[in-house]
Amino acid sequence: MDYLLEIGVEEIPARFIPGIIEEVKNKGEEFLKEFGVQYEALISEATPRRIVFYVKGVLPKTEEKIQEVKGPAKKASYDSEGNPTRALLGFARSQGIEPNEVIEKEVNGVIYVFARKKTGGNPVDELLPEIARKLIKNLSFPKPMRWGDIDFKFIRPIRWLVSLLDEKVIPLEIAGIKADRISRGHRFLGQKEVVLDRAADYFVAMRENYVIVSLNERIEMIRAQLHRASAEEGVVVDQDEELLLENANLVEYPTVVIGEINREFLELPKEVIITPMKEHQRYFPLFKNDGSLYHKFLAVRNGGRENLAEIAEGYAKVLKARLYDARFFYREDLKKPLAAYNEKLTRIVFQEKLGTVWDKVLRLKELVVAIGRELNCDDEVKSYAVRAAELSKADLATNMVYEFPELQGIMGRDYALKSGERKEVAEAIFEHYLPRFSGDIVATSEVGILLSCAEKIDNLTAFFALKQIPTGSADPFGLRRQALGLLRTLIENKRFFSLKKAFDAAFNLLPAEVREKANFAEVYEELLEFIYQRFKGFLLEEGFSYDTIDAVLATGKDDFYDLYLRVRALENLRNHPSFTALTTTFTRAYNLARKGQGREVAESLLYEPAEKELFAEFREISLNVKELLREKAYLKAMEEVAALANPLDRFFNEVLVMAEDEKIRENRLGLLGAIAGLVLEIADLSKIVG
């Protein structure tokens, strides 16, 4: 048997639909399990006008189980004459059985009485009304609505209910709406009433009435039509996955329409056209092979292919009105040079305790100089970075960015170039926000890298000093993204950079009242741990082993490109034939070395051939390793260290480390300590688990 529950509603906002589908599935599974319903598969779907809970292969009765309930001990259940005591009588009554129906079982040497009860085997059609009612009433929504005079809230007012177990209507009433077998088709193309003879007819009947119930199918329909339409024009579609999902959740029957952009607007920067196109109209931009914007767009209508020319013309008119506004804002902004907008930043609060946006700009101007020294930037790069920092937030005061906040940095770059600023400065204004989202590009220009690092270091330091540290899923200032962005910027641009000095400089630029209430050592410790966690997550996604990462992070270094190279080297070394032996013997050496006093090795106190050989190997290798470490050649350094595996193993087999003679014992522990110290310069191999 199949069971269908369809909840017909007024238009659900697109952004809520994926969450509804997931919750219906999770809560549906939970309640079916709770009631013991056996079934083959559960399907949860939603469109703007309906929420669907479909259960395939439902068995007629719930699962039968034999349940044994433990009662009192046998000796407490019967009196001396073998008659049931009050304890047994009460237990039997509570379980709905006669006293003579109990069984006896031994538990931990004590005999107890048990009630054996048969549960389940209930007709499913009698349980489904309660399951459906419970499911509907337990769905949670960000902004539920109340309608009419009923005491009930839902995502949108309920207009119809379908509740069918095969051909049988399962009785259900919610918010004054009684369930039956009548669904509804597409608002404009389908039948007003679609009578379902049986639950299994549902999906076909909906398709015949221009409703594609499956979200994934709607997505794929749009994707295929976008590709076909763009291929016919010989251009490339910007297939933004979020925009694709949003469009799929706005329609029940998607059809792609191609429309024209009025050519008078093509003189505008493409971002000025694309942003209102995507953000306000949910249209898909098209691009020529050279990356320039094409004069047409693709949109998704909720309907078939009738009257497409008229529909496309209507879409183009709406976009034209949006672009008139955008062009007006753009032209107004260009009446002043970008630098003139800085005056308004003194009246825009960045954060209550951190001052205005202009205060942040002043911090960035000083911070890029400090970070520039650490990154070994030349004076020209630092001077460009100071100018870029000075202009970095100016576009926040422009009309375009006020209307479209996602254009921050993009408009700054455009306005800077229009104001006669150097290309290096303009590009850095754009790049300092990068990466803006997961998978986005990072800054790559010299000035952009410098300003991007300063932006993120200032934000991280400031909010950690204020104890505004992300917890759980809450991260209102996007600090996780910024920490990961800082890491990616340094790693992808291969920049060696110790963060402590930069964070120290950023801390000292914070307002005095913030510094006075914070302790830099504590702030830095929390920051480093926070960044370590982001770094670890980044490396795990890159495919590195967790214990390799732990071994490298145990060094406590804060140069993350350097740490990245170490992780890569150690991961490669895991294929070395001596790696397992090296980690085993190193761990033993490391643990023993901690028992010593850290004394230097006296060659005159080495007596056994194995310890002499080990010392000679170590002395030669250590010189090579230290030189390789200076060159950041970590794989070669690790390969050198791996050569110690065999002599170290022989040492442990042939030499008594904990000799009775204190001087000899301490000398041997000192040798192990020196070896451990050399390896720890690269990684803590004791963290490797296999």
Shared-domain flag, residues 127 and 189? yes
Does residue 213 belong to any structural domain of this protein?
no
Shared-domain flag, residues 274 and 194? no
Residue 428 β-bridge partners = none
Shared-domain flag, residues 609 and 531? no
β pairing state of 284-287 and 236-237:
antiparallel
Q: What value does the mean pLDDT take over residues 394-410? A: 95
pTM, full prediction: 0.79
Per-residue pLDDT, 597: 58
Does residue 549 belong to any structural domain of this protein?
no
Number of domains present in the structure of the chain? 5
Does residue 346 belong to any structural domain of this protein?
no
pLDDT greater than 80 at residue 595: no
CA distance 200 to 179: 17
Average pLDDT, the chain: 93
Does residue 341 belong to any structural domain of this protein?
no
pLDDT greater than 80 at residue 635: yes
State the CB neighbour count (10 A cutoff) for residue 334: 15
Shared-domain flag, residues 15 and 87? no
Domain containing 481 equals: 351-542
pLDDT greater than 80 at residue 578: no
Q: Are 565 and 491 in contact (CB under 8 A)?
A: no
Banded model confidence at residue 596, pLDDT cuts 50, 70, 90: low
Name the token pair of 134: 């419970």
Shared-domain flag, residues 478 and 592? no
Per-residue pLDDT, 394: 98
Backbone angles phi, psi at 460, to 5 degrees: -60, -50
Shared-domain flag, residues 237 and 306? yes
The last residue of a domain, from among 515, 542, 569: 542
Lowest mean pLDDT among 445-449, 459-463, 674-678: 674-678
260-269 pLDDT, tens digit per residue, is 999 999 989 9
519-539 pLDDT, tens digit per residue, is 999 999 999 999 999 999 999
Shared-domain flag, residues 92 and 226? no
131-148 pLDDT, tens digit per residue, is 999 999 999 998 899 988
Q: Are 548 and 575 in contact (CB under 8 A)?
A: no
Q: Up-side HSE of residue 38: CA atoms within 13 Å toward CB?
A: 11
pLDDT greater than 90 at residue 126: yes
pLDDT greater than 80 at residue 598: no
* CATH number of residue 514's parent domain: 1.10.3210
The last residue of a domain, from among 486, 514, 542: 542
Closest CA to 586 of 618, 541, 627, 557: 618
Per-residue pLDDT, 641: 86
Q: Is the dihedral of CA 553, 556, 558, 564 positive or negative?
A: negative
348-392 pLDDT, tens digit per residue, is 999 999 999 999 999 999 999 999 999 999 999 999 999 999 999
Q: What value does the mean pLDDT take over residues 552-565? A: 93
Per-residue pLDDT, 690: 65
* CATH number of residue 679's parent domain: 1.10.730.10
Shared-domain flag, residues 372 and 286? no
Shared-domain flag, residues 401 and 418? yes
78-99 pLDDT, tens digit per residue, is 998 889 999 999 999 998 899 9
Lowest mean pLDDT among 203-207, 443-447, 481-485, 641-645: 641-645
Shared-domain flag, residues 169 and 111? no
Q: Express as a percent the part of the chain with pLDDT over 70.
A: 99
Shared-domain flag, residues 586 and 497? no
Q: What value does the mean pLDDT take over residues 579-589? A: 83
Backbone angles phi, psi at 174, to 5 degrees: -130, 130
CA distance 239 to 35: 44
Shared-domain flag, residues 537 and 635? no
